[in-house]
Structure 1
Amino acid sequence: MNKREGEGWSRRNAEAAQERDVHANSASPVIAAFKVFQQELDTRHDKHERLVKISRDVTIESKRAIFLLHRVTSVPDAERPPILNEAEGKLEGVRQKIGQIAEELRGEDIFQFHRAFTAGIQEYVEAVSFLHYIRHRGLISLEEINARLVFMKAENPDPKDSAEAAPSGAHVLTFQVTPADYLLGVADLTGELMRLCIGSVGNGDIDTPFQLSQFLRQIHDGFSYIGNTGPYEVSKKLHTLRQSLGKVEDACYALRVRGSEIPKHMLADVFCSRTAHLDTEEGVV
């Protein structure tokens, strides 16, 4: 047997041995168990990616609603209802996206996938609480938010079902915002209220900054009860909350002390310059 024939024989033996190992492993209970684990992990990873994509859509649409709501400071009171209704329509679309999250989490442990969608839920809480404050000058409760996250899903829609009646095989899905996501969304709300204060000052609204100052002080006092016992993100956002409160109080100071000597259209410039000075002192770039 020459060298080439020997190499061919060795290769064929190696391939045959590998084939025997494959057949042996396919019948092994250990390999079978790991194949089941692989399928479960692939299914879980796919669900996680779908939740991340839905959460991203929830974040984008919630931000658009917030940007729309900031327009209320630049229009007369008579033109505010159409803006608020349009923002409510956008948030209704966001709720439908959250309904998709509820569908994905059906029969699952919510906390196994919580990190995949928490950012979007926090943004939604921020948007819906901002709209609630503009309308009612108060803070929306966690129960009020969750009460609107109830969805009717149909297993197999029947075209014979009327629009008023529940579809055949319909089931009710609920999504519950966690207390931690609610607190984080409210903490982010304070930044939007600070921007609302700046816009109000720029349009000569003297009353809104003082209302915002009192409201932000109440939120700050509420967060102070939590202290360091809450989630890490809450304590991290408390610094931003205090900054927003300080800027609104600074605006109130400027209005109270210098409001009579500065024209209304220049108040926002004075306030913004004082805010930039405060940020520089605090090391904010």
Structure 2
Amino acid sequence: LYNVRYCRSAVMPVTMKPEKEEEEEESLILLFTSYANELDAIYDKRDRILKASQEITVSSKRVICLLHRCVNENEENGWKIFQQAVEKLKSLANDQFKTVAFELKDEYCDQYEKYYSNGLQEYIEAWSFLNFLQYKKLITLFEIRQLLQYEFCENGNIHLRKINISYFDYVMGVADLAGELMRYAVVSSNSDIVSVNNIYNFLVTIYRCMELSNLKRRKRFVRKEKEFLESI
């Protein structure tokens, strides 16, 4: 009797899950798997955009350093430097920025804007510096947007892909220009006082325009505006 009772207690009853419950579990697993894949795709896209932005930042800084050499060059060599700078900046537009533009295909751009914002602002600063040295004027937001839009053919139709450039990013890029022009003016002051006065008047005009903007409530802008005024 003991053996019989022992054997009976050792055997655990096997409970079978209802078929409906198994189907629900499978659907949940599939759902969470799709969520995981979607998140992985978002993170991968973010990393590619960040990498492109970092390359843009580094290359734009190199262009700015190249442009500072103009101060000690004659007119002919100065224009050669301008041409090199234009080629480098257009190369960024046709390579890294184009990568970003096509990464954002059919995407909500604002979701990724912060990942390329730093590179974009540095790029705007480089173009602004070049444009002032060449033409003594400020490159416009419209001109920057024109540089960063791309045509492509799909199903026999021509489409346009472009980088989303906010007014805030444009102003922040232009605001960084003050530091570069201040350094340029310091070096130029020994030989070209007219250029120094032109730089001063140019920066004052930009500052007055910044004062009229509606960005006062943004902390990053307030800090940048203060640095701009210190450069003047």
Global fold match (TM > 0.5): yes
Q: Check the 8 A contact 2:113/2:164 in 1, yes or no.
A: no
Secondary structure of 1:120's aligned partner: helix
Is structure 2 residue 184 aligned with structure 1 residue 196?
A: yes
d(CA) in 2 for partners of 1:118, 1:205: 35
Residue 114 of structure 1 deviates from its aligned partner by 1.1
Deviation digits for residues 61-96 of structure 1 (CA, Å, limit 9, x no counterpart) = 111111111111011122211000000010011112
Q: Which amino acid aligns with 1:187?
A: A
CA distance in 1, matches of 2:157, 2:99: 18
User: In structure 2, do the counterparts of structure 1 residues 153 and 244 end up closer, same or farther at CA, with 3 Å as the change threshold?
Assistant: same
Q: What value does the CA root-mean-square deviation take over the aligned residues?
A: 2.6
**Distance between the aligned counterparts of 1:147 and 1:208, measured in 2?**
29
Residue matched to 1:78: 76
* Structure 2: distance between partners of 1:73 and 1:191: 15
**Displacement, 1:169?**
7.1
CA spacing shift, 1:106–1:228, aligned 2, 3 Å: closer
The answer to whether the aligner puts 1:124 opposite 2:123 as a matched pair is yes
| Structure-1 residue corresponding to 2:136 | 137
Q: What is the match of residue 115 of structure 1?
A: 114
Cα drift, residue 124 of structure 1 = 0.5
* 1:180 alignment partner, one of 140, 157, 168: 168
Q: Give the Cα separation in 1 of the matches to 2:89 and 2:150.
A: 15
Q: Which runs of 5+ in 2 are unaligned?
A: 1-9, 16-20
Of the two structures, which has the highest relative contact order with CA contacts closer than 8 Å and spacing of 6 or more? 2
Q: Secondary structure at the match of 1:173?
A: strand
Q: How many pairs are equivalent? A: 217
**CA distance in structure 2 between the aligned counterparts of 1:106 and 1:123, rounded to whole angstroms:** 23
Alignment deviations for residues 183-211 of structure 1 (CA, whole Å, 9 cap, x no partner): 10001111111111112124x11111111
**Which of 208, 213, 231 matches 2:218?**
231
Does 2:75 match 1:87? no
- Structure 1 vs Structure 2: percent identity of aligned residues? 31
Aligned to 1:105: 104
CA offsets per residue over residues 128-158 of structure 1, 9 Å max, x none?
11111111111111001111212234669xx
Give the TM-score normalised by the residue count of structure 1: 0.70
For the 8 Å contact 1:153–1:170, the answer to whether it is kept is yes
Secondary structure of the corresponding residue to residue 212 of structure 2: helix
- d(CA) in 2 for partners of 1:25, 1:120: 48
Task: Give yes or no for the alignment of 1:221 onto 2:187.
Answer: no
After superposition, give the CA deviation of every residue in 1:247-277 in whole Å (9 maximum; x if it has no partner). xxxxxxxxxxxxxxxxxxxxxxxxxxxxxxx
**Given the superposition, is the C-alpha separation of residues 219 and 72 from structure 1 closer, same or farther in structure 2, using an over 3 Å criterion?**
same
Gaps of 5+ in 1: 1-8, 18-22, 157-167, 246-285
In 2: Cα distance, 1:81 partner to 1:29 partner:
65
User: Which residue matches 1:60?
Assistant: 58
State the one-letter code of the partner of 2:57: T
Does the CA-based 8 Å contact 1:180-1:231 persist in structure 2?
A: no
Deviation at 1:24, TM superposition (A): 3.9
SS at match of 2:225: helix
TM-score (norm 2): 0.85
Any idea what SS the aligned residue of 2:165 has? coil
CA contact (8 A) 2:109 2:164 kept: no
Q: Which moved more, 1:32-41 or 1:53-62?
A: 32-41
Q: What letter matches 1:53 in structure 2?
A: K
User: 2:5 maps to which residue?
Assistant: none
Give the aligned partner of residue 193 of structure 2: 206
The one-letter amino acid of 1:201's match is: S
Partner of 2:4: none
- Call closer, same or farther: CA 1:179–1:227 in 2, change over 3 Å: closer
Quote how far apart the aligned CAs of 1:226 are: 2.5
